Amino acid sequence: MRSPRVAEILSVIADGGGERAALPARLCAVCLSALPVSGVGVALMTVDGPSGVVLAATDERARQLEELQFALGEGPCVEASGGGRPVLEPDLVVAGSPRWPRFGAAVLDAGVHAIFAFPLHVGAVRVGVLDLYRDSAGRLTGPDLVEALAFADAATVVVLNLQNHDGVEDTPSALIEPIDGRAVVHQATGMIAIQLGITLAEALLRLRAHAYAAGRKVSGIAADVVDRRLRFDDGEPGITTQRDRRERP
């Protein structure tokens, strides 16, 4: 998650400025140009499974394939999100129908021969799925797979930042940071979720927004939370707490 490549991808897609709602589409376009695939889509997921919302797709067919999976309740993106691991199907002619009886047939009719789905996860925080489609069969090479995983990490940040988050300022520079993967960050996320009675996804956003507002590293704020020097429930939640102001004038 702290990969330089992830930061690079995020800065490329944020460079155009503008609305953060436009970022998923830009991410799909950059991903399409960087990898040997025919189409890219990003869909929202919740803990209960597919949400039915396709955030962005590079073409109409990619969008339809996303929607089809929601409608059928089966397919690689459903499986990737449920299992928390990438689902890589390099040859749908051979393996598609046995694996996904209804989706497998439909996807071949649409001329898609390989599909690669990557869950957008931060532990228990599930935000969506990145799907790559290709007209020809064949595996992703090792380097391509690494690149695809970097795009999945970048997409996780982009989609997480689209979640509903009251009280968190819409600050584009805070959006482009990769998620700090240190244990202390995830521990603090769990603590903040309990302190404020919010979801882990919201807690992670509050933590990141707080660090941004305070001009400090996310891991530094997280360490303060874990060491119980900072609470999020005794002041303006997620921006600056009273106690924090006292300690850091």
Query: In the chain, which residue ranges form alpha helices assigned H by DSSP?
Result: 4-14, 23-34, 60-72, 76-83, 92-99, 101-109, 142-160, 172-175, 183-196, 200-214, 218-226, 242-247
DSSP element (H, E) containing 162: none
Interface mask toward other proteins for 59-88; x: CB under 8 A: ------------------------xxxx-x
Toward other proteins, which CB reaches closer, 52 or 83?
Answer: 83
Q: Report how far residue 24's alpha carbon sits from residue 43's, in angstroms, rounded to the nearest whole number.
A: 9
5 binds other proteins (CB under 8 A): yes
Q: Interhelix angle for 200-214 vs 183-196, to 10°?
A: 110
Toward other proteins, which CB reaches closer, 21 or 94?
Answer: 94
Cα 22-213-149 angle, rounded to 5 deg: 45
- Smallest gap from residue 239 Cβ to other proteins (A): 20
128 binds other proteins (CB under 8 A): no
Total residues contacting other proteins by CB under 8 A comes to 37
User: With CB under 8 A as the contact rule, which of the stretches 25-33, 48-56, 116-124, 240-248 interacts with other proteins?
Assistant: 116-124
User: With CB under 8 A as the contact rule, which of the stretches 102-110, 154-162, 189-197, 235-243 interacts with other proteins?
Assistant: 189-197
Toward other proteins, which CB reaches closer, 61 or 134?
Answer: 134
